């Protein structure tokens, strides 16, 4: 699907959407994924649930910031190379501006008790948004009714939560399982034809 399928000036809408999402998202890449899903899946219908789940998995397993990786993938999906550029610029502008302002006034911010209170409040909000991501993406996996996908999700959760396994190993193991399943399905399909 290219940007020509998304109505008038989709690149402008993509830029403004990413700018808005990035400016009001605190807590990292997983939080931005929730807002991107609400905007591009639920509201604009530019991406379906399964595609968003796939884009999220790719963004998480690629090196770099999840927010930028997700912007690259969504932008490419919506508008090709130009869509990717627009989405990335919209995503990185707010943090650059905010960090520049904070670094300029760092001494004032670091000692201000009100800033500390606001940051504590943001942490609570971020936790709630991350739980929302977990439930949305987890329910998407459950809807597939794929025993392998559900098993990978449960094992990945147990490995990180109970055993403290590094996320890198979990991603590599999930990638290996995905490759094995894909190769098996291709082999099975060729054998039946």
pLDDT at 16: 96
- For the chain, percent of residues with pLDDT exceeding 70: 95
CA distances from 104 to 55, 64, 76, 167 (A): 36, 26, 34, 34
Place 40 in a pLDDT band, splitting at 50, 70 and 90. very high
Average pLDDT over residues 22-43: 85
Asked if residue 2 has pLDDT above 50, the reply is: no
pLDDT at 60: 85
pLDDT at 3: 46
pLDDT at 22: 92
Q: Measured between alpha carbons, how far is 23 from 37 in angstroms, rounded to an integer?
A: 16
Place 109 in a pLDDT band, splitting at 50, 70 and 90. confident
Other CB atoms within 10 A of residue 187 CB: 10
- For the chain, percent of residues with pLDDT exceeding 90: 44
DSSP 145: T
pLDDT at 104: 83
The stretches of the chain forming alpha helices (DSSP H) are: 10-23, 29-36, 49-61, 66-104, 106-111, 113-144, 147-161, 167-192
DSSP 6: G
Region of residue 25 (left: phi > 0; alpha: psi -120 to 50; beta: else): beta
């Amino acid at each position: 699907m290219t940007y020509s399928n998304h109505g008038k000036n989709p690149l402008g809408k993509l830029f403004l959407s990413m700018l808005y999402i990035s400016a009001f998202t605190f807590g990292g890449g997983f939080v931005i994924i929730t807002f991107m899903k609400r905007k591009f899946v639920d509201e604009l219908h530019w991406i379906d649930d399964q595609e968003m789940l796939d884009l999220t998995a790719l963004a998480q397993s690629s090196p770099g910031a999840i927010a930028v990786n997700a912007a690259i993938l969504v932008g490419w999906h919506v508008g090709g190379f130009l869509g990717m550029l627009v989405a990335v610029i919209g995503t990185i502008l707010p943090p650059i501006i905010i960090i520049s302002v904070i670094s300029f006034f760092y001494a004032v911010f670091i000692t201000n008790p009100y800033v500390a209170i606001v940051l504590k409040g943001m942490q609570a909000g971020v936790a709630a948004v991350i739980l929302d991501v977990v439930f949305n993406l987890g329910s998407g996996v459950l809807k597939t009714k794929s025993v392998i996908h559900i098993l990978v999700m449960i094992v990945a959760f147990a490995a990180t939560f109970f055993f403290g396994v590094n996320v890198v190993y979990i991603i590599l193991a999930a990638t290996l399982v995905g490759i094995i399943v894909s190769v098996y399905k291709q082999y099975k399909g060729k054998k039946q034809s």
